[in-house]
């Protein structure tokens, strides 16, 4: 069964705007952070945005976002977990029966009826093989997680996974800079843009200008492999 990407915000730090403002202000104030008188939200937003524009990013680590994600492949999750300043809780193929696994079809295959038919046929064969192996092992008394931990070796990377991800704002800015880029693989790029949409709604002063790193730099760091939206680094004299 084909499945679609879904991203849900599970949690965000309490009162993230105030938390960021107090964290930033503590760097420049002799007063104790909890005792600082708070200005209106608009002034907080302007101050935080100004700090980010100056490259002062460490206070952003105090605010975190937690997302629940489904409808991504193991290919995508393997890329996602390479971002190490984060916490992950991923669906286990050892404890979850995958005999009816769902899967992701790459667009280049989905747009070609013949290729899609072949892809789906193979997925169906793998499902059948998974069930046959589970039955064979059961006949020998190997059941439950003992069977699933070995039969999972048969599963393809297209298999859908579910994962809970927590990142702080600073890591999210880095993640969006890397993964919203047109050079990023299509699946994790789609995930990054959905996460960014949520972050912009919650904390626009932090994420309004987030996105591909070229937008922050004013040039493309990818050289000849860039998409052409921005001039290359050497073209702007850097």
Q: What is the CA radius of gyration of the chain?
A: 23
Would you say 57 and 49 are in contact if contact means Cβ atoms under 8 Å apart?
Answer: no
Among 6, 12, 14, residue whose Cα is nearest residue 207: 12
- Three-state DSSP string of 59-116: HHHHCEEEEEEEEEEHHHHHHHCCCCCCEEEECCCCCCCCCCCCECCCHHHHCCHHHH
Active site residues: 179
In 3D space, the residue among 185, 195, 180, 99 whose CA is nearest the CA of residue 138 turns out to be 99
Report the distance separating Cα 202 and Cα 207, nearest Å.
9
């Amino acid at each position: 069964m084909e499945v679609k990407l879904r991203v849900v915000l599970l949690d965000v730090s309490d009162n993230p705007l105030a938390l960021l403002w107090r964290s930033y202000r503590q760097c420049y104030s002799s007063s104790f952070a909890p005792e600082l008188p708070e200005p209106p939200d608009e002034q907080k937003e302007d101050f935080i945005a100004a700090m980010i524009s100056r490259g002062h990013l460490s206070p952003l680590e105090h605010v975190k976002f937690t997302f629940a994600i489904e409808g991504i492949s193991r290919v995508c999750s393997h890329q996602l977990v390479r971002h190490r300043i984060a916490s992950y809780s991923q669906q286990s193929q050892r404890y979850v029966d995958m005999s009816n696994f769902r899967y992701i079809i790459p667009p280049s295959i989905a747009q070609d009826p013949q290729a899609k038919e072949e892809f789906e046929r193979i997925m169906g064969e793998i499902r059948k093989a998974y069930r046959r192996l589970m039955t064979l092992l059961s006949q020998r008394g190997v059941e439950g997680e003992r069977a699933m931990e070995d039969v999972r070796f048969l599963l393809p990377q297209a298999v859908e996974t579910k994962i809970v991800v927590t990142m702080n704002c600073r890591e999210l800015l880095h993640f969006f800079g890397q993964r919203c880029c047109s050079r990023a693989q299509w699946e994790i790029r789609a995930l990054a843009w959905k996460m960014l949409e949520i972050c912009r709604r919650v904390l626009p002063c932090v994420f309004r200008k987030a996105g591909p790193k070229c937008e922050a730099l004013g040039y493309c760091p990818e050289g000849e492999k860039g998409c052409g939206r921005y001039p290359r680094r050497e073209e702007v004299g850097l």
